[in-house]
Structure 1
Amino acid sequence: MGTLANKTALVTGAGRGIGRAIAERLAAEGALVAVHYGSSAEAAAEVVSAIEAKGGLAFAIGTRLGRPGDARELWQRFDTEIARYADTSGVDIIVNNAGVAVYGTIDTVTEDDFDEVFAVNAKAPFFLLEHGLSRLRDGGRVVNVSSGAARIATPLTIAYSMTKGALNTLTRTLALELGPRGITVNAVEPGIVRTDITPWLADAELGAQAAGWAALGRVGEPDDIAGVVAFLASPDANWVTGQCVDASGGLLLGPVVRRG
């Protein structure tokens, strides 16, 4: 029996990258996982198949985030699908992972880009939780996937970084508000992770440079982040709330000194 046996989890943006790793890890720990996707039903189906092949339980729900009514639509689809597995639409773990990136300095980011990145990265998690709190059981877990970009000044990701700062504020505020129900709310801040939104890591020189920025001497992998999320979702983390947990391998802690 895993640490999350008899629990139900929702992971947004779970069709690829970090979200997929999180969904698979939570399922491996025993949770029934709702695999949310925005545009690729095929990718989500692959995740569900991979989970089921290892003896886990999962189902896919598709909703495009960043548009009016997205949160309500997502939960309606969740309610429909969960009925095949349970008598109630309760959920124990909500992982807000879905997000989009926009690259550009303050003089190049367009209003449309700004509105989209905030709609997906900040507005969608807010209203997903607003509509989900009635379903979230007492003693539950909320984990928001933020970013190290929220604490490191990076001109090229200024709009994206602002959304993650907003997500961190949501994390701390809801931790205080939901504490009386025994619900913990935390954020995880990945650094540079090898996913399809960091294709530049495939360049040997750029990849080596990025690895050198971390104290642990490498870039992150999706499983690195999934392990932190699984801990925060587990009973072992029942005394941790309102925290933004760095999961960057020690990114830009200071000048890197290599010994030996």
Structure 2
Amino acid sequence: MTRPAALITGARRGIGRAIGVALAKAGYDIAFTDIAEDEAVREASRLFAEAGAAARFFKHDVAAVASHADLVTNVKSAFGRLDVFVSNAGIGAPVRGDMLEITTETFDVVLDVNLRGAAFLSQEVAKAMLAGRSERPAIVFITSASTELVSIDRAQYCVSKLGLSMWARALAVRLAPEGIPVFEVRPGVIRTDMTAKVAAKYDARISEGLIPAGRWGEGEDVAAAVAGLTSGQFAYATGTVINVDGGLLIPRL
């Protein structure tokens, strides 16, 4: 197989699916995961194929750390290589409310996926990349504007993304001598299934000027950034954070 292969977690819909389409158009074959296997998986596979990729779905729970080695082995077996990893899978707070009422159970659920699972899967991928070099390897973590913006009704989500941001920086330093760049992409208010339940709230806030660009972000906005970072043109910028937020994180008076 001559096409490079990208592994994208949580890619059956939303931002992950958009990233898969963008990377397929950029010349990658696509291995993608999600916790569920349904019609959305079949639709994602169709879109990736239409964009020129050989695509393979792997049902996988990122929180199941013990399964990570098998996932990476199966991806390499299917495609013969693993060149790019996009850590996209994540969940929101199971319940929004007063942070003084957050339970250890809901805290652990969010961190097990968004931080612990993502970190240890990237560790397994990094080892595989070191064992079989690519012409243009890259690891990209999808975090959130919530690494900087506090939401007290979902503090556990903010903590998980900020923790993952530090992991990305540390991994960038560890892998820089090996020629494997690591990047972090921070989406702002993006139109996805996760944000659908608070769409009315953000519609109002955007109309009030919350986002300088004056609109919702789309999955394709995030995907374009990932495609650029994995192109091989930004390898010396390892550790860089890219805000895909329409200016949301720019301090203003």
User: In structure 2, what is the equivalent of residue 209 of structure 1?
Assistant: 205
Partner of 2:97: 104
* Match of residue 31, structure 1, among 28, 32, 42: 28
Shift of the 202–150 alpha-carbon distance from structure 1 to 2, 3 Å rule, reads: closer
Distance in 1, matches of 2:193 and 2:42, equals 18
Equivalent residues in 2 for 1:1-260, closer than 5 Å: 6-82=3-79, 88=80, 90-102=81-93, 103-136=96-129, 137=133, 139-200=136-197, 202-203=199-200, 206-210=202-206, 212-255=209-252
The SS at the match of 1:40 is coil
Shift of 1:206: 4.1
Q: Deviations over 1:107-156 (max 9, x none)?
A: 12211111111110011111112222232235410000000001112212
The one-letter code matched in structure 2 to 1:132 is: V
Say whether the 8 Å CA contact 2:21–2:51 is kept in structure 1: no
2:21 and 2:204 mapped to 1: Cα distance?
28
Residue 80 of structure 1 and its aligned partner are, at CA, apart by: 4.3
- Which structure has the higher relative contact order (CA within 8 Å, separation 6+)? 2
Q: What value does the CA root-mean-square deviation take over the aligned residues?
A: 1.9
Q: Tell which deviates more after alignment, 137-146 or 30-39.
A: 137-146
CA distance 1:206–1:192, change in 2 (3 Å): closer
| SS of residue in 2 equivalent to 1:189 | strand
CA distance in 2, matches of 1:18, 1:40: 17
Show structure 2 runs of 5+ residues with no match: none
Asked whether the equivalents of residues 92 and 141 of structure 1 are also in contact (C-alpha less than 8 Å), the reply is yes
Paired residues, number: 245
Q: Which runs of 4+ in 1 moved over 6 A?
A: none
Q: TM-score, normalised by structure 2?
A: 0.90
Structure 2 SS opposite 1:149:
helix
Q: Which runs of 5+ in 1 are unaligned?
A: 83-87
Distance 2:249 2:169 in 1: 24
CA positional deviation for 1:181: 1.2
The Cα shift of 1:201 comes to 5.1
Aligned to 1:239, the other structure's residue is in SS state: helix
Q: Distance in 1 between matches of 2:166 and 2:252?
A: 29
TM-score scaled by length of structure 1: 0.87
Percent identity of paired positions between Structure 1 and Structure 2: 31
Distance 2:8 2:86 in 1: 5
Q: Does the 8 Å CA contact 2:72/2:128 hold for their aligned counterparts?
A: no
